Structure 1
């Protein structure tokens, strides 16, 4: 589905790198189809050497050369980034934002033009290709655009479509959810240590128990209650 399309990533933090890994591991793209940018030269160098993708320090170059642009930047700098690249954005490009809490309307308003926008809320588990992402389309997106986004985020876990107004709820549930699960695993491990098990063994036992329980629910479709 991404054959002959150029994919650009503005930002190569944890989420950006996870998407690069997913696209390549899932054979959705060749390394030469991916162009990424980052303000940190050492980070950009590391990503280029690790994955063989193209890199630049200029966000505008990513936009000019890409058909699909993923804005993988912190919410607090989204306006600055959009101001910088707006001149090169138009309806021929699909723009996917993974910035939490930034509505599509705010991005379009900042760019001062109509754009083909999709907003996605992934979680940190995309870094091990077991994330879950909620996808919301903007008013100018078509079914093909949404399916492209789903293909990308399915490469790092599972994804589903929802209305944009529900994304804040998703942020609280699956976006922050891993932190709650880590607390549960830590509590189980602490309990194991108190009854004589080693810390290493308890972490394996607790982690695999949570993983297995989740897989049972997914594969059987049974209610957790």
Structure 2
């Protein structure tokens, strides 16, 4: 695999920043020496990243001036203060990738006062194990070469899907928050087995492999979930009895409402941060 030559500057040193750094290096697509990291004040965290991944830690001025790509990996409420601080060192058409949830590209462009090339990205926490479902949205000044570089960066931590920016709230509610919904479902299944006599360990192992198998079946066959579910059901059988309870309790509708609620909350948070 060809190693990329671009300098990647990461501002932020939290879990998502570390996941990206880990993915870029372990994929062998990016050298540790091509990655620069800075954050607001946590020097211990920077020292940890430098020691573990051999990346270069530096101040924001040097990072911005030396980087081809700046990854803004901080909380949404911090992003505008960071832009205000670094905009004096930024260059027109410099690629800026924001993973701050809910912050629109137009707002970042306005805050910088420059014609930046901006890409929004929404990875999820599974990036820590290189299994993120990441959506990216392209800004108006972004070249295809820059977009391809963003795809390469985020493909190091999972899959990448390009979407329109107006779809990012839905992405936040679906795949951004989605792991939490899955963990709630897993917890319910594990507790169900445990309460009926299995040990916690036995129930956990069976549930995890059941989920892996179901995902692999859908991936391998390309069939719809409803079609695969029908293959398990026999008239008046055990699966039909279990599904009847889920249907009575509006399981599908509840999940869909959860995604809708998270999407609406993403919109609300964006308005509160950008107002």
Question: TM-score scaled to structure 2, two decimals?
Answer: 0.79
Match of 2:69 in 1: 68
**1:209-224 equivalences in 2 (<5 Å):** 209-224=210-225
- Structure 1 residue runs of 5 or longer lacking an equivalent are none
Paired residue secondary structure (2:17): helix
RMSD, matched Cα: 1.2
Q: 1:107-131 CA deviation, whole Å, 9 max, x = no partner?
A: 0110111110000011100110001
- More helix per residue: 2
Determine the C-alpha separation between the residues in 2 that align with 1:151 and 1:3: 9
Residues 93 and 115 of structure 2 are in contact (CA less than 8 Å); yes or no, is this contact kept in structure 1?
Answer: no
Match of 2:17 in 1: 16
**1:9-158 equivalences in 2 (<5 Å):** 9-38=10-39, 39-56=41-58, 58-158=59-159
- Structure 2 residue runs of 5 or longer lacking an equivalent are 227-275
Determine the C-alpha separation between the residues in 1 that align with 2:191 and 2:221: 30
Q: 1:117-176 CA deviation, whole Å, 9 max, x = no partner?
A: 000011100110001100100000011111111111111010011100000000000000
Paired residue secondary structure (2:204): helix
**1:185-200 equivalences in 2 (<5 Å):** 185-200=186-201
Runs of 4+ in 1 over 6 A off after TM superposition: none
Offset, 1:103: 0.4
Residues 67 and 92 of structure 1 are in contact (CA less than 8 Å); yes or no, is this contact kept in structure 2?
Answer: no
Offset, 1:92: 4.3
Residues 118 and 135 of structure 1 are in contact (CA less than 8 Å); yes or no, is this contact kept in structure 2?
Answer: yes
Match of 1:176 in 2: 177
Residues 60 and 84 of structure 1 are in contact (CA less than 8 Å); yes or no, is this contact kept in structure 2?
Answer: no
Match of 1:162 in 2: 163
- If you compute each CA radius of gyration, which structure gives the higher value, 1 or 2? 2
Offset, 1:2: 5.6
2:186 maps to 1:204: no
Paired residue secondary structure (2:96): strand
Determine the C-alpha separation between the residues in 2 that align with 1:125 and 1:145: 24
Residues 150 and 159 of structure 1 are in contact (CA less than 8 Å); yes or no, is this contact kept in structure 2?
Answer: yes
